[in-house]
A and B are shown apart, each in its own frame.
Chain A
Amino acid sequence: AQTVTQSQPEMSVQEAETVTLSCTYDTSENNYYLFWYKQPPSRQMILVIRQEAYKQQNATENRFSVNFQKAAKSFSLKISDSQLGDTAMYFCAFWPRFGAGTRLTVKP
């Protein structure tokens, strides 16, 4: 079964700066999907970004982008121009597995 590892329990960034959250995974499959979900203090999870493994192009959603390295089994999330509203827990997911999460704090 696949595993998902997030090695950064907590991170902080200054407002307007860029931060990268790490995620590695293990699988023997060739075609699969990876996700980043955000859980703000309200605790309602929402999708940040989704990546299809067979697509070479890294997914992008506005200020959020991924660096997907299939051979290295790495799926990091880059947040540009960080905003206070980005403060949240971020979970990397390879269904049905979720990483333990990274708590990101954006400081004013």
Chain B
Amino acid sequence: DGGITQSPKYLFRKEGQNVTLSCEQNLNHDAMYWYRQDPGQGLRLIYYSQIVNDFQKGDIAEGYSVSREKKESFPLTVTSAQKNPTAFYLCASSIATSARGDTQYFGPGTRLTVL
């Protein structure tokens, strides 16, 4: 079955530690995205990538880093510089005709808690 997988579902991190969230897709989509979701707020874009080896910052990129070495994979690292990392993180992908016009397909999300 085609889709997007995110792992782990729940992640706990101690303050001061970096942690990497995994996102994999087998939809053959060119574009991938990372969002953060906090209670009472909509999704906020962290980073997106429309092609391998290229990515752009979204609205809240500070304290996060990404890589796009393979079309299928777009891991997100939450660094110790992120002041309030506890949140629900969603990964998405799209065909990438146009990031603004494409339907995005979402993964099941990762809940990150900083202890």
Contact = CB atoms under 8 A, between A and B. Distances in A.
A47 B107 CA distance: 12
A19 B21 CA distance: 37
A21 to B, nearest CB: 13
A108 B100 CA distance: 37
Given A33-B101, A52-B101, A96-B58, A46 B40 contact: no
10 contacts: A4-B42, A35-B103, A37-B106, A43-B108, A44-B109, A45-B106, A95-B100, A96-B58, A98-B43, A100-B41
A101 B44 CA distance: 12
Interface bracket on B:
20 to 34
Nearest to B43: A98
Main secondary structure of the interface of B (DSSP, over half): loop
B78 interface: no
Interface in B53-109: 58-59, 88, 90, 92, 98-101, 103-109
Interface residues of A, number: 24
A43 to B, nearest CB: 5
Interface in A1-16: 4, 6, 9
A50 interface: yes
A91 B100 contact: no
Contacts of B52: none
Contact of A100 (B42, B90, B100): B42
Nearest to A35: B103
Contacts of A33: 98, 100-101
B55 to A, nearest CB: 14
B5 to A, nearest CB: 11
A101 to B, nearest CB: 6
B61 to A, nearest CB: 12
A44 B107 contact: yes
B45 A96 contact: yes
